[in-house]
Amino acid sequence: MPYRSTDKTRTRKDARRTDMMQAAVRVFAEKGYYAATVRDIVAAANVAVGTFYFYFPDKETLFVHLYEETADFLLQSLQQAVNSRKTLPEQVAAGCQTYVNLATYEPAIVQLLLVGGVGALPELNARRVNFREGLIRLWQRPLEAALEQEQVPLQNTRRTAEGIAGGIDEMILNLLALPNPDLEASAAATEMTAFALRAAGYQPQ
């Protein structure tokens, strides 16, 4: 009879894998891809080196997997926030507030996505492009709806969305560089929203 793991065993394995990945996010964000070692990761996760290699063949595979999962998580969170609102100002405000919340509560995730993957691995290039494209489209869709409703002037919504995505990411990184980002989080979200609406040329009806 072939061996079948029990639900309890699978749950324990999943929890161990999750703990190790969360530790890896922190290590990569703190040290960068090249400086971080497998021993750093297992020490942070409080597991044995053998446990690491049970789940991942090498550091590169883990990093790429982390990048993909965190990118999906961030994009889905932002999209849900934007989709929960109807008007352009509300959509932009919800997206910015969610981004700021994630950045201040889980700074390692945002730093991994915006900084940690830059130039780290050639295999990551396509995934970075996909992530950036996801952010651009996130901001472009509400702009297109606002353009159809004549709430913003005629424009290339793709270019506007590119500028908004880049500008907000820069503001997020600068926020995280502050000694106490939490103290500036609310003001930062408001300022990001105002910036995005100005960039789109939004005029209240």
Residues 36 and 112 in one domain: no
Q: Domain containing 64 — which CATH number?
A: 1.10.357.10
| pLDDT per residue as tens digits for the range 22-51 | 889 888 888 888 888 999 999 998 988 998
Backbone angles phi, psi at 176, to 5 degrees: -70, -20
CB 135 within 8 A of CB 189: no
Mean pLDDT of the chain: 89
Per-residue model confidence (pLDDT) at position 5:
47
Give the residue from 145, 144, 139, 193 showing the smallest Cα distance to 162. 139
Tallying the residues shown for the chain, one arrives at 205
- Would you say residue 205 lies in a domain? no
For 6, the domain range is: 1-56
* Angle at 133 (CA atoms; ends 59, 173), nearest 5 degrees: 65
| pLDDT per residue as tens digits for the range 102-159 | 999 988 888 888 876 666 677 788 888 899 999 999 999 999 999 999 999 999 999 9
Q: Among 40, 56, 72, give the residue marking a domain's end.
A: 56
Band the pLDDT of 64: cuts 50, 70, 90.
Answer: confident
Residues 76 and 146 in one domain: yes
Instruction: Give the C-alpha separation, 171 to 136, whole Å.
Output: 16
| pLDDT per residue as tens digits for the range 74-92 | 999 999 999 999 999 999 9
Instruction: Give the C-alpha separation, 193 to 199, whole Å.
Output: 10
